[in-house]
Amino acid sequence: MSFASLGLSAPILEAVAKQGYKTPSPIQAQAIPAILEGKDVMAAAQTGTGKTAGFTLPLLEKLSGGQSARSHHIRALILTPTRELAAQVGDNVAKYSKNLPINSAVVFGGVKANPQINRLRQGADVLVATPGRLMDLHSQNAVKFRDVEILVLDEADRMLDMGFIRDIRKILALLPKQRQNLLFSATFSDDIRALAKGLVNNPVEIDVNPRNQAAPTVKQWICPVDQKKKANLLTKLLNERSWKQVLVFTKTKHGANRLATHLESRGISSAAIHGNKSQGARTKALANFKSGEVRVLVATDIAARGLDIEQLPQVVNFELPHVAEDYVHRIGRTGRAGCVGEAISLVCADEFGDLIAIERLTKQILDREIIEGFEPSINLPVSRLDTRPLSKPKTAKKPNANGEKRTFSNSKPSARRKATPRSDDAPRSEGAKPARKPRPATDAKPARRTPQRNRKPAATTAN
């Protein structure tokens, strides 16, 4: 199969060939014809399989037949969760539309809004945006949505989670009711899939790979290790295994800064990228990492979506994510476009629950390797692949005086209070207090006792 057989015009085929692409990937082969037919699409495919071109190429094909920059209003709107992904998608749109009379623009936060407003005044058929900045520009009357024909949610699962859903709903309320909706992502949890179906009309659902799994070219394994030894273990792996370009993920911004500082103190060139960094600092750190000037890029999950680094050899999970789907996006930064990659996770005993969730999601037990000198003081429990749905726990955990968690069952009495019989006929449990004897019935009211403090002292007689 060739791109020409998918119904794309010569200008787009020329642009695709210039990028070195000869045959469409499975996601492109299925998504492009459906989009050209005007159908709504929900597509899930592993990262690095060409999802961006899967919606960009047919989108440009459809827009190329209409009037360019009609009334300076947007005709296709592409929403992304991160600035890096917005910049990447915008770059692809510009490359693929180079031979077409189509204008495109990119807007995101972290930079001044005035240059973006001036750019939008020139007109744009395609707008790539992050939700927050888009709503800011709309409030300033800098962007109109009345001519939007196509809406794309890239990394749709993240766009529909609780962090973005409020802005997404506000944007949807401003768009024309008659439009084409395209939802693309590497993962779709059942909850997000159900929510997404409320935004599309009789969609074509495309799953070209096993759901929620990384590319088969990625070797995945874990290192059991204590939390406090992770930084030194990472340093040892970097030096002894000669890793030259490594993307490391942490859960927090402070953790990313702390780890980058630690690696720098060990002579390993490093940089941190997260939400507290300015856009200029983030762009510079990413550019230095791609060029090889920086050996290790330490990032929070903001970088799990939108970083497209050619032939990135290693990804390290310094800490496992709380959301299992984020693991798939993290390790999807390596092994892209059929390249071989390696994903290593440093896991302490406290993260066993997160590990189980990841193994359930990906339906595989991850290989383990204990590094000599870094044996964990608390062994990581053995994993057993269990695909049964998680049930709510039947017990409540309460900390004792030492901060340790104790489990009290809801179905049994606690050790402090023994069960008492429900009736006189039921046998009393051992150790239970005997039932009180009932007071005899009497018509006379008991004498009222005078409180001790109100009693008058008794009369005394002289000796």
CATH number of the domain residue 246 falls in: 3.40.50.300
- Do 25 and 89 belong together in one domain? yes
pLDDT in tens, 65-75: 754 444 467 99
- How far from 347 is each of 131, 144, 171, 297, 461, CA to CA, in Å? 34, 48, 40, 19, 86
- Do 93 and 158 belong together in one domain? yes
> What was the pLDDT predicted at 460?
44
Strand (E) or helix (H) holding 60: helix 51-63
> What was the pLDDT predicted at 437?
47
Q: Is residue 212 part of a domain?
A: no
Alpha-carbon radius of gyration of the chain: 31
> What was the pLDDT predicted at 69?
42
Q: HSE-up of 169 (CA within 13 Å, CB side)?
A: 9
> What was the pLDDT predicted at 386?
56
- Do 186 and 239 belong together in one domain? no
**What is the count of structural domains for the chain?**
2
- Do 180 and 36 belong together in one domain? yes
Domain hosting residue 324, numbered range: 218-368
- Do 239 and 144 belong together in one domain? no
409 beta partners: 395
Three-state DSSP state, 156 = helix
- How far from 99 is each of 8, 16, 226, 280, 290, CA to CA, in Å? 13, 11, 55, 30, 28
Rounded Cα distance between 21 and 18, Å, is 8
Q: Which amino acid is at 173?
A: A
Q: Is residue 133 part of a domain?
A: yes
- Do 224 and 138 belong together in one domain? no
- Do 312 and 343 belong together in one domain? yes
Q: Is residue 406 part of a domain?
A: no
Three-state DSSP state, 259 = helix
pLDDT in tens, 268-312: 999 999 888 888 888 899 889 989 999 999 999 876 666 667 778
What residue has token string 């799994």? Answer: 213
Q: Is residue 405 part of a domain?
A: no
Q: Is residue 436 part of a domain?
A: no
Q: Is this prediction's pTM over 0.95?
A: no
Q: Is residue 373 part of a domain?
A: no
> What was the pLDDT predicted at 277?
85
Q: What is the 3-state secondary structure (H, E, C) of 304-321?
A: CCCCCCCCCCEEEECCCC
Q: Which of 328, 349, 368 is the last residue of a domain?
A: 368
> What was the pLDDT predicted at 304?
60
CA dihedral 233, 358, 342, 267 (to 10 degrees): -30
Please name the residue ranges forming H helices in 316-445. 324-331, 352-362
> What was the pLDDT predicted at 208?
76
- Do 156 and 178 belong together in one domain? yes
Query: Are the C-beta atoms of residues 383 and 365 closer than 8 Å to each other?
Result: yes
- Do 154 and 85 belong together in one domain? yes
Q: Which of 174, 207, 240 is the last residue of a domain?
A: 207
- Do 242 and 166 belong together in one domain? no
Query: Are the C-beta atoms of residues 15 and 53 closer than 8 Å to each other?
Result: no
Taking the CA atoms of 108, 110, 113 and 116 in sequence, report the sign of the dihedral they define: negative
Q: What is the pLDDT along the chain (463 residues), one digit of tens a residue?
A: 788 899 899 999 999 999 888 889 889 999 999 999 999 999 987 766 788 999 999 999 999 875 444 446 799 999 998 888 899 899 999 999 999 999 999 999 888 999 999 999 999 999 999 999 999 999 999 999 999 999 999 988 778 876 788 889 899 999 999 999 999 987 777 777 777 888 888 999 988 766 656 667 789 999 999 999 999 999 999 999 989 999 999 999 999 999 999 999 999 999 999 888 888 888 899 889 989 999 999 999 876 666 667 778 899 999 999 888 889 888 887 866 567 889 999 999 999 999 999 999 888 899 999 999 999 999 999 887 755 554 443 433 444 444 444 443 343 433 333 333 333 333 333 334 444 544 544 444 555 555 555 555 544 444 3
Q: Is residue 454 part of a domain?
A: no
- Do 290 and 319 belong together in one domain? yes
> What was the pLDDT predicted at 451?
54
Q: Is residue 425 part of a domain?
A: no
- Do 190 and 270 belong together in one domain? no
Q: Which of 182, 207, 232 is the last residue of a domain?
A: 207
From the list 119, 166, 124, 130, the residue with the least C-alpha distance to 145 is 124
